[in-house]
Structure 1
Amino acid sequence: MLLVGFVSCTSPDAKQKLGIPIVGAETQVVLESLIQHDSLALSSSGSSGRPILSQLAPLGLIVQAPVDTGFLHTTIRLDSVTLRSLLRLKYLDGFFFTSQDSLALIQQAQQQQMARFDTTRLAPSDWLSPQALERQKKQQEERPYYRFSQPLFSSDSSRAYLLFDYHCIGCGGGVAYLVERKDGVWQPVGWRRRWIN
């Protein structure tokens, strides 16, 4: 059973504590689980019982970005990113990914299967802590849901990029996480807001 609690988008204390928008400390557990190769096979205890790996959305990597002619505006799907923008992500005094990572990123994107980690496919007890379940009952609000993409790793597997979306009634947002392995532990080291409602 995967038991994880998420912090609502209305909890500023948890956001400031982590320096990361939208999600709280419990989401760190999910990020670490998703990023570990051997932890992706966690299963839901819900009625479907499907493995979590089969519920991870592939991240759409666009190798050749459409040319903007000025006449037609081409939109890129929310679950996509261009290779060019990945290679331009700033981190510390350099870039998060190097040009040597580009081939590894392309190969991973081509091998990802159609799947999605979407909390609407899980039983509430799979992803909400008992406290969060009780809070939702008291507030009588509709269940928000969360979605993660499959990570894209650097060629040396020390860094990864993945997308996170939070959806609720009248609110929500999307974040791209930059995650790095430090002392054997995956940690978010940066983020980029992708969209907000």
Structure 2
Amino acid sequence: MKNIIFYIFIILTFCNCENKKENYNLSTGKIKDINEVVEAVIIQDSLNVFSKNEDSIMFCSELIKLNIYIPPKKTNDDFVLLPKQDGIYITNLVPTKIKGVTFFSSKDSLYLLKQNSNPKKLKIEKAIIDKLNATTIEKIEKRRENKQRSRFYEMTIPVFSLDRQSAYVQLDYECGGLCGNGDVIYLKKIKGKWQIIVQWQSWIS
């Protein structure tokens, strides 16, 4: 009996260590890709966010977490699945094939859900921040509290396919009051470089 308990303890300890290692890899191993995706979006979407431009728009240096949800079961024929304000349903990502290009397949489902372990916010690297008219979530909140109008972009932490060759990100633009819009962006890694493949406006105010 003692041997059985001992083996169960060892197995649980091993699994716990593996999970911690996996979470560590998810939060740090993707840093290079995340920063490359940020740069790709800024440059390829021609965002006017560089500090050298006098009329540049602020860019939030902290990426926000994109929550990935499992949708509730359909209860009746009138059931309507409302979009999530702070994330996206896994069913909106998997499977994803747009204009003949596959971004996410069923094999990516678990890996996408594991990315819910991403931090609530993630600061982009200093080398990028130094080039931008950068702001932070804290500064944005203070301006909102003081009812100060401001123009800024805010981006989610990109989520990746299992092979890390596809990425999905949301980009919001706020220009004060009810002014603003948001885009969803799908990227592919082609010859080692991230490229925007598909982009469309998801909301406007």
Pick the TM interval, shorter chain.
0.5 to 0.7
- For residue 147 of structure 1, the aligned residue among 140, 145, 154 is 154
Q: How many residues align?
A: 138
User: Structure 1 residues 66 and 173, CA, compared in 2 at 3 Å: closer, same or farther?
Assistant: farther
Q: Which runs of 5+ in 1 are unaligned?
A: 8-17, 19-23, 30-50, 129-140
The structure where helix makes up a greater share of residues is: 2
Alignment-mate amino acid for residue 118 of structure 2:
Q
Q: CA-atom RMSD, angstroms?
A: 3.7
- For residue 185 of structure 2, the aligned residue among 161, 177, 189 is 177
Q: In structure 1, what is the Cα distance between the partners aligned to 2:49 and 2:160?
A: 18
Give the match's secondary structure for 1:194.
strand
TM-score norm. by structure 2 comes to 0.55
Identity %: 23
Q: Residue by residue, what CA displacement relative to the aligned partner does 1:108-164 show, whole Å, maximum 9, x if unpaired?
A: 12x1111267xxxx99x6339xxxxxxxxxxxx942122111111000000100111
Q: Residue by residue, what CA displacement relative to the aligned partner does 1:9-46 show, whole Å, maximum 9, x if unpaired?
A: xxxxxxxxx6xxxxx414799xxxxxxxxxxxxxxxxx
1:182-193 to 2 correspondences below 5 Å = 182-193=190-201
Is the 1:146–1:166 contact (alpha carbons within 8 Å) kept by the matching residues of 2?
yes
| Partner residue, 2:114 | 107
Q: Residue by residue, what CA displacement relative to the aligned partner does 1:32-88 show, whole Å, maximum 9, x if unpaired?
A: xxxxxxxxxxxxxxxxxxx94xx2211010123453646676633333111111014
Is the 1:116–1:147 contact (alpha carbons within 8 Å) kept by the matching residues of 2?
no
User: Structure 1 residues 180 and 94, CA, compared in 2 at 3 Å: closer, same or farther?
Assistant: closer
Q: In structure 2, what is the Cα distance between the partners aligned to 1:166 and 1:66?
A: 33
Larger Rg: 2
What's the CA shift for 1:184? Answer: 1.2
Is the 1:68–1:74 contact (alpha carbons within 8 Å) kept by the matching residues of 2?
no
Is the 1:178–1:190 contact (alpha carbons within 8 Å) kept by the matching residues of 2?
yes
Alignment-mate amino acid for residue 196 of structure 1:
I
- For residue 75 of structure 1, the aligned residue among 78, 82, 87 is 82
Q: In structure 2, what is the Cα distance between the partners aligned to 1:182 and 1:28?
A: 25
